[in-house]
Structure 1
């Protein structure tokens, strides 16, 4: 199975999972039906299934048309009953080609947010996580419906996965995320190296995703909100006292990012 992005809108990626043995593909969060339809037409592919991470329009806007055109299976949050043919939630499993995916509930950005994790089954396979708007390279999604406590729990869930897990977020926010991260950790050499690397990728019009979990643990402030340097700088940016409570410290980092320019 190969995985690659189809760009959509201004900064979305629709991740495509393509079977090596057939013309079948799956799409993750197809906000724009035309992008997927055109790819299938140009490449002679057939859409077999869709995974939805959450209900936002830029992730679901193309699902109805694609389902009507192809009669494909759609997996996602149960409340999207007008779109989803197979409702899933925490602890459920599904199979895409030869890969089994575990469904992880990660409320925070939205209350219905799901991630899809596939563990490596063979030595030549790498674990992969399709995480929608929960985690980005260098950042995380805004807390739009959930709570800081839920979002921190989601971060901890992802942090518990294997370090070599490939992280497939849905937005090209990396450079902006890294600028904020550097404001908290200006002396983080791993962060500096990744920022320069991603600047080069964007200059070449290449995606900065996927990333890998071991990179995020070294560079992403939302997986590092327990560190004193990160907590201190976030509190200073907000002109607040440093919090020793893990949830409140995470909230300070998230609010500092929300107001960062």
Structure 2
């Protein structure tokens, strides 16, 4: 099994576009479809032909180009079963515990409600890849538009249990704002402080902050660190549940 090739590019104002290509079969998947032209440009640059769209959730900035790309390429669209009526062109709905094959590469579906009620993530266990969209960001997580803090904490906890070397691709370039917030919640974390400084330099140079890894997020992302005693002490909620601490961090980020 050959290694998958990945093309990362910008879409819209702050979305990431991601193409996933198997060099043996030629199969190419777009992780979500935020905007048609940047996806077409990336395909042309690499000489790839789109065969799949793997949709994570129903928000317009993740499904806008579904129908145009389906008409052009005849792609198969796989997405969240619980949001199927809101996923344009969907062919197959999947949910927690489902798995499927992408060009010989196993794909596991992880249900991650919180940002939306039916959000899913795609885990490629043999490739050490996770496509987390708007559930887990570098140093952040998605806003709770349709779910509760407890639901999102449970979703993030699932992702945190994946192997630490897992590479994580996420839906938006929010990392600079996330970093500036994170240090206000976890000010004694030396690795976080160093990472925040590196992110400032990356963004000043116009370079992307994706991908990250599960291990790096567990050490530096406050949204995965609700159990950390230093964060709890800093927030003044040392006896709260992990979900309650997470909820407080999310509420503070919403006001940041």
Q: Is the partner of 1:47 in helix, strand or coil?
A: coil
**Range moving further from structure 2, 20-29 or 31-40:** 20-29
1-side partners of 2:44 and 2:19: how far apart?
Answer: 14
Q: Which residue does the alignment assign to 2:243?
A: 247
Q: Which residue does the alignment assign to 2:128?
A: 127
1-side partners of 2:49 and 2:235: how far apart?
Answer: 47
Q: 2:121 aligns with which of 115, 123, 143?
A: 115
Q: Which residue does the alignment assign to 2:95?
A: 89
Q: Deviations over 1:22-48 (max 9, x none)?
A: 544210011101211233334432100
1-side partners of 2:29 and 2:130: how far apart?
Answer: 15
CA contact (8 A) 1:184 1:229 kept: no
2-side partners of 1:29 and 1:234: how far apart?
Answer: 36
Structure 1's 200 and 64: CA in aligned 2 closer, same or farther, altered over 3 A? same
The answer to whether structure 1 residue 222 and structure 2 residue 223 are counterparts is: yes
CA contact (8 A) 1:231 1:252 kept: no
Structure 1's 242 and 86: CA in aligned 2 closer, same or farther, altered over 3 A? same
Q: Deviations over 1:39-75 (max 9, x none)?
A: 3334432100000000001101111110111111000
CA contact (8 A) 2:226 2:243 kept: no
Q: 1:56 aligns with which of 50, 56, 59?
A: 59
CA contact (8 A) 1:108 1:144 kept: yes
Shift of 1:242: 5.4
1-side partners of 2:44 and 2:223: how far apart?
Answer: 40
- Consecutive aligned runs of 4 or more in structure 1 exceeding 6 Å deviation: none
TM-score, length-scaled by structure 1 = 0.91
1-side partners of 2:46 and 2:189: how far apart?
Answer: 43
The answer to whether structure 1 residue 257 and structure 2 residue 247 are counterparts is: no
2-side partners of 1:77 and 1:22: how far apart?
Answer: 25
Structure 1's 259 and 21: CA in aligned 2 closer, same or farther, altered over 3 A? same
Q: Is the partner of 2:208 in helix, strand or coil?
A: coil
TM-score, length-scaled by structure 2 = 0.92
Q: Which residue does the alignment assign to 2:178?
A: 177
2-side partners of 1:165 and 1:137: how far apart?
Answer: 13
Q: How does 1:3-14 map to 2 (within 5 A)?
A: 3-14=6-17
2-side partners of 1:243 and 1:254: how far apart?
Answer: 18
CA contact (8 A) 2:179 2:199 kept: no
Shift of 1:130: 0.3
Unpaired runs of 5+ residues, structure 1, are 121-125, 236-240
Count of matched residue positions in the alignment of Structure 1 and Structure 2: 250
**Range moving further from structure 2, 214-223 or 187-196:** 187-196
